[in-house]
Amino acid sequence: MNITIIGRWAFILGVLLSVLTGLGGRVPALMTTLFILGLIVGFLNITEKESSSFLIAVIAFLVIGVAGLQLGQLTAIIAAILNNLVIFVSAAALVVSVKQILVMAERVK
């Protein structure tokens, strides 16, 4: 199986799990599952060329997501979906940012 296909399916599965469990579904070890899927997406889907744009988009998403959760203005379902997506996207951003730091450190040599 092609690695790119695995990355795409990890992304689709992560988004679906985030939404479906936010709507009331149950998945054992949901946070761990979303975190692992996010790591896979970060490793397999985001290239070095896309990393800056991806990280900017993640920062915007996380600021909006965390602010929305802190305000408490969201319904319980939207808050649950947003919380799940924040876990998923944060893991991908962690991988991409570490990869980007390593690339920049190598350029300094």
Residue pLDDT, tens place only, 12-22: 999 999 999 98
The per-residue pLDDT for 88 is: 94
| In the predicted structure, residue 1 carries a pLDDT above the cut 70 | no
The per-residue pLDDT for 106 is: 86
**Global pTM?**
0.86
- Give one DSSP letter per residue of 21-69, joined into a string: HHTT---TTHHHHHHHHHHHHHHHT--HHHHHHHHHHHHHHHHHHHHHH
Residue pLDDT, tens place only, 44-66: 999 889 999 999 999 998 888 77
Across residues 85-90, what is the average pLDDT?
Answer: 93
2 pLDDT band (50/70/90 cuts)? confident
User: Would you say 35 and 5 are in contact if contact means Cβ atoms under 8 Å apart?
Assistant: no
Domain ranges of the chain: 3-108
